[in-house]
Amino acid sequence: MGARTLLLVDDQPDSLLACKALLSADLPGCQVIATTDPEEALGAARTAPIDVALVDVCMPTVSGIELCRRLRAQRGPAAPFPIVLVTAYDSDAALRASGLDAGAEDFLSKPIDRVELVAKVRVMLRIKAAEDELRRASAHLEDVVAQRTKALRESEQQMRQAEKMAAIGELAAGIAHNFNNLLTPILGNAEMLKSTEGLIAGQAAMMVDEIIQAGWRASDLVAQLLTFARKGRINRGPVDMQQMVREVTGLLRHTVDRRVDIRLDLRTESTSVIGDAPQLESALLNLGLNARDAMPDGGTLTFTLEPATLDESDDRHLRTQIKPGRYLHLAVADTGVGMNEQVQAHLFEPFFTTKALGIGTGLGLASVYGCVKGHEGGIEVQSAPGRGTTVHLYLPAAGVPQAVVAQTTQAPPAAPVGRVLVVDENTPVCALVGRVLEQQGYAVTTCASVSEAVAEYARRAREIDLVVLDFAMPRMDGLEAMRRIKAVNPDAHVLMTALHDSQEAVSQAFSEGAIGVLSMPLEIDRLVETIARYVRLSEPSGAPPAPLVAALSAGGREPQG
Ligand SMILES: Nc1ncnc2c1ncn2[C@@H]1O[C@H](COP(=O)(O)OP(=O)(O)OP(=O)(O)O)[C@@H](O)[C@H]1O
Ligand SMILES: [Mg+2]
């Protein structure tokens, strides 16, 4: 312990000097600051680290009690030090009480007894030293905790970064592996085709077929990755989920073991959503196939559809990070092997799979996730090892009447007939769409100007079954063009083609009565199927004319013209 400093304050110089002399003699290791002036005492305590102060209570300018209060109040260079008030021998209890109140630790009576003085100062010095030590230890502890917390935070950040890098590495490896598998037949067959020598009849065509198939598989892979990244093309139309669940379960019944009992629990009449039918269909199929794989010895696979209104108090919207509102809740539940927490933590990562090489690509749930998020929906998985799995999807409810919603995977009608008005300011595109539809048997009128098209529609509104309208024309916004056509006939059926896919614009088109939106560049077979289905539904013998549908099965596989 270094030198200790004592502060003595007494307005009477004699008694001050006597006290100082006693302390200097009996406590030689101590430095004593003695003053008759309370202000000087306050100044000393501001500049020097004091260990103990002895303060006379009776002083004319500032009372000892007041000085004690002020010494306590001011922050000096050292931590608080004990203060002993020196009182007259007969001072009353009230005075002592207010001394304690002002922050004094103890009292000494005048005339001062030498032994008592030294004993009391020693005790106070010990208390001060113990308190200093305690403060040092706790400050050190705080330092250590702060350092450890900082280190922990840094290592957490590094871990997160490492996990991110690992996920990206996994993604890159997954893409590389899958594309390598597809490049092998493409390059191998192409090399062999370079010289046709030695090829037997039909072999070349077979090789070309293999190349094309690998190309399409690559394109599927890209589509799945894009769905995950939510960068895919937007094709939106009313989709009847009940119908879709029936179709998907129909397909699954052909592919799953007979020991898997597939059940439907459809608890709602209104099951429409505005969505991309092929994407939604492939999401349902993925969930069904995962359930199948989880039940190698059979079990029960249940698809449940029910309306779900998620209000502020419903924590499902928080867990799935969607806006409160009206949703269609689809639950796909199996009684299979279930998943542990570690698997669940990586479930939606692209290329995450627990299946054997060549069996699973690990893109199934990644694309389901992207699809659901792209539909502004939510997804949640409940699972435990040995206890089965339920995947919950929440898709914004569309509120489209059931009857008007198109089927999703029905074959297009065999011989379509109908009258279509194609409007596109881009003349070559307009002509191409017209030619394609004419080839399919439609009576087509093409207009490269909106005003011409509106005039044409006004003349023949009763005959024209469908208007195909470009969303983004240079001279007139497609929405505005649709409004003009609807001004002639509010029931006009308008199918829009959109170059710039914006969810907002698509929603706007639907809210103003478009029957569907297809992305540009147009997939011709999709356009043809959409129109065929529409015209069939509008036929007098068929269902009553009804707004319809952009989203159909992705079926077609020919390169698009
Ligand atoms: N219903 C389920 N029951 C148990 N485990 C599941 C279920 N669904 C998914 N999983 C687990 O999640 C993993 C990832 O599923 P995901 O569908 O993304 O890929 P995959 O099925 O392995 O391959 P892919 O779907 O590309 O053929 C699976 O490998 C499996 O371990
Ligand atoms: Mg899967």
Nearest atom in ligand 1 to 362's CA: 19
Ligand 2 centre distance from Cα of residue 357 (Å): 13
| pLDDT of 406 strictly over 50 | no
Q: Which residue has the higher pLDDT, 541 or 216?
A: 216
Give the model's pLDDT for residue 123.
95
Distances (CA, A) of 511 to 300, 482, 483, 517: 40, 12, 12, 12
Whether residue 310 contacts residue 271, with contact meaning beta carbons closer than 8 Å, is answered with: no
DSSP collapsed to 3 states, 103-154: CCCEEEEECCCHHHHHHHHHHHHHHHHHHHHHHHHHHHHHHHHHHHHHHHHH
- Is pLDDT at 543 greater than 50 in this prediction? no
Close Cβ partners of 485 (under 8 Å, ≥ 6 residues apart) = 453, 454, 457, 467, 469, 492, 494
Tens digit of each residue's pLDDT (9 = 90 or more) over 197-235: 777 777 888 888 899 888 888 888 887 888 777 666 667
410 or 461: which leads in pLDDT: 461
Mean pLDDT over the full length of the chain: 83
Nearest-5° Cα angle at 204, 201 to 205 = 95
pLDDT bucket at 409, cuts 50 / 70 / 90: very low
CA 334 to ligand 2 centroid distance, Å: 14
Provide the pLDDT for residue 462: 86
Residues within 5 A (CB) of ion ligand 2 = 290, 364
Q: Tens digits of per-residue pLDDT, 171-199?
A: 888 888 888 888 988 998 998 888 777 77
What gap in Å lies between CA 463 and CA 493, rounded to an integer? 12
Looking at 3.40.50.1470, 3.40.50.720, 3.40.50.300, 3.30.565.10, the CATH number of the domain 237-403 comes to 3.30.565.10
313 band by pLDDT with thresholds 50, 70 and 90 = confident
What pLDDT shows up at residue 542?
37
Q: What's 412-538's CATH class?
A: alpha beta
More confident residue, 174 or 76: 174
**Cα(201)–Cα(198) distance, rounded to whole angstroms?**
10
Tokens standing for residue 181: 């598998």
| Architecture field, domain 4-112 | 3-Layer(aba) Sandwich (3.40)
d(CA 185, CA 10): 104
Ligand 1, pocket-test mutation among 365, 367, 381, most atoms within 8 A of CB: 365
For the chain, domain boundaries: 4-112, 181-229, 237-403, 412-538
Alpha-helical (H) ranges within 440-523 are 450-460, 478-488, 503-511
| Closest C-alpha among 118, 99, 117 to residue 108 | 117
Mean local confidence (pLDDT), 519-539: 66
pLDDT at 444 over 70: yes
pLDDT in the model for residue 234: 66
Ligand 1 pocket by Cβ (under 6 Å):
286, 290-291, 294, 334, 336-339, 343, 347, 352-355, 360-366, 389
Q: How many whole angstroms separate alpha carbon 403 and alpha carbon 547?
A: 9
How much distance in Å is there from the Cα of 361 to the middle of ligand 2? 8
Question: What is the per-residue pLDDT for 532?
Answer: 72
Alpha-carbon distance of 320 to 312, in angstroms, equals 13
Q: Ligand 1 pocket test: pick from 300, 337, 355, 382 the residue with the most ligand atoms within 8 Å of its Cβ.
A: 355
Question: 228 CA distance to ligand 2 centroid (A)?
Answer: 14
Q: Is the pLDDT of residue 119 over 60?
A: yes
| Closest Cα to atom 8 of ligand 1 | 290
Would you say the CATH fold of 412-538 matches that of 4-112? yes
DSSP 560: P
Q: In this structure, what are the phi and psi dihedrals at residue 67, rounded to the nearest 5 degrees?
A: -60, -40
Q: Give pLDDT, residue 521.
A: 61
Amino acid at 63: S
Q: Which residues touch 37 (CB under 8 Å, ≥6 apart)?
A: 61
Quick one: CA torsion of 318, 323, 327, 332, rounded to 10 degrees?
-40
pLDDT tens digits, one per residue of 12-24: 999 999 999 999 9
Picking from 5-9, 362-366, 379-383, which range would have the lowest pLDDT averaged per residue?
Answer: 362-366
Pairing type for strands 443-447 and 389-396 reads unpaired
Write b or e for each residue in 248-273: b if 16 or more Cβ atoms lie within 10 A of its Cβ, otherwise e: bbeebeeebeeebebeeeeeeebbbb
Cis peptide before 540 (omega within 30 of 0): no
